[in-house]
Structure 1
């Protein structure tokens, strides 16, 4: 009989290491943290990208590109996601065609009378989208200190563009220096002057040349912006019209847009921001407190414009 085989003893189970599952948990935690960070970064990046995508650049044409009030207007607009680019023009005749042909988005340089005249003559439909101010149209002289001192036959330089010329003639009539046929109107020209009843003669020149013309004439009607550029003190004017009167409505300055854009929220926001305190304060300071801030509903501005255009068409 063979010898019995001793029973086989199995080795005890190897103790399971805790390192593995700790490492596993650690990896999982790290993965979760990385995922969360990526999500946060992605969301943050997406928000920044979205904010950047929402910014809008608006080109505004003007003849007053150096005016100090552009700075607070740009600052206010930037906070609303609007970047304003100011496009300067050397004279009044350029900014409306540039707007009509989409070289710029808005313009800010003209009053309603000027706009009406342009629309009728160019068969255009540019539209006011926000009032800004009315400025007086003053009479200056380097030789005389009052209207009464002007001699018979005195030569007075006036702007030769259609709308400012008519307003200048009305100012001179109001000052008692000349008389216009049928009392004059927003379309009056030098041909309407009643020479026999007038004390002065007028010399129409380019609006930019009215300030230099002071040296060669007895007096000059000079638009406020050109007077300030020439360093003329507005308080030295010997006469000016009343910018706060109802008769000054045709001379309300406005932001102007293409008709198709008159309800553009971005453009309307810019016109609204013009009336923030910082901007208005800068405007008044720049005008030496001669300007009168005007805030009229756009429906009123459109009505005034339509009436002016009707009058101009009827006179043709």
Structure 2
């Protein structure tokens, strides 16, 4: 935001120097307030810079830890909780929050392309394995022909879930499958099970009614499940998994914001925060410090492939 000159205020005539001085003081205070309210962190009192971060699952204890660690470094962090994955990106686009952290690169690319936006990844957090869970069987082999298996309905996690089902021998995808696979790509005649898609936060609640379901990492423990209970999952250490790195994202004009860079450094280097992330993930998170330039290059590649698919 460019600096704005304070309005020229002419003091009333013959009121004396005291009133003229008061007018100048008011103008200076107004200019300071305008400066403090520029985007990139409002003044929060003292030397603290206010930052609004959006996520899904703000009740996870490590967010409180991050808030405390950030305050030590001069950042007044407010963590805003969203009910589902569809909300944080529009909120960021509209300026309701400053930064978000809930998604991987594929999800971000889908959002940007579908909405003609340019949100940018500026820091990595981790790759989390995506797992297949069941309340009816203890192994993939026990799933019967014709049973129903559920996957998330958002494009990026749906494709990833379908690839897991294919690796487990439950379905066959036309052309071998890709990060763009959908239910339409399932070869029904060659597949063992039927596949149904639900919102990501609803897949765990479907478990009493289906043979198995892909459950996003965020919802595993909230659904009373254990990460060790997964009967199948993908391999987050595979180099092809880079598009599934979870990231901090900002508006394009804020990609070089120093406050946001500092916040990401705190997240990546604070052991109490990292321990909290691992605890919530059941020890499954592969913590990363992938450079922002590499994340942005991966996003550009995935966006190009996404547009080509359209």
Relative to the length of structure 1, the TM-score reads 0.83
Partner of 1:212: 205
CA–CA distance in 1 between the matches of 2:258 and 2:206? 43
Q: SS where residue 156 of structure 1 aligns?
A: strand
CA–CA distance in 2 between the matches of 1:58 and 1:199? 49
Partner of 1:125: 118
CA–CA distance in 2 between the matches of 1:241 and 1:92? 21
Q: SS where residue 274 of structure 1 aligns?
A: helix
Note the residue ranges of structure 1 that are not aligned, 5 or more in a row.
Answer: 1-49
- Provide, for residues 8-41 of structure 1, a one-character-per-residue CA deviation record: whole Å limited to 9, x for no partner: xxxxxxxxxxxxxxxxxxxxxxxxxxxxxxxxxx
CA–CA distance in 1 between the matches of 2:267 and 2:290? 13
Choose the corresponding residue for 2:243, options 245, 250, 265.
250
Partner of 2:151: 158
Question: Within the alignment, does 1:108 sit opposite 2:89 as a pair?
Answer: no
CA–CA distance in 2 between the matches of 1:96 and 1:294? 22
Give the alignment of 1:69-84 within 5 angstroms: 69-84=62-77
Q: SS where residue 52 of structure 2 aligns?
A: strand
User: CA 1:246–1:53 in 2, change beyond 3 Å: closer, same or farther?
Assistant: same
CA–CA distance in 1 between the matches of 2:44 and 2:293? 33
Choose the corresponding residue for 2:186, options 193, 198, 220.
193
Partner of 1:179: 172
CA–CA distance in 1 between the matches of 2:70 and 2:264? 10
Q: SS where residue 69 of structure 1 aligns?
A: helix
Contact 2:119–2:250, Cα closer than 8 Å, also in 1: yes
Give the alignment of 1:206-285 within 5 angstroms: 206-275=199-268, 276-285=270-279
CA–CA distance in 2 between the matches of 1:68 and 1:174? 34
Q: Displacement of 1:53 after TM fit?
A: 4.4
Choose the corresponding residue for 2:309, options 303, 312, 315.
315
Choose the corresponding residue for 2:296, options 297, 302, 307.
302
Q: CA RMSD in A?
A: 1.2
Q: Displacement of 1:113 after TM fit?
A: 0.4
Q: Displacement of 1:51 after TM fit?
A: 10
Question: Within the alignment, does 1:66 sit opposite 2:59 as a pair?
Answer: yes
Q: SS where residue 64 of structure 1 aligns?
A: coil
CA–CA distance in 1 between the matches of 2:253 and 2:180? 28
Q: Displacement of 1:54 after TM fit?
A: 2.9
Q: How many corresponding residue pairs?
A: 267
Larger Rg: 1
Partner of 1:47: none
CA–CA distance in 1 between the matches of 2:105 and 2:266? 20
Q: Displacement of 1:153 after TM fit?
A: 1.2
Note the residue ranges of structure 2 that are not aligned, 5 or more in a row.
Answer: 1-42
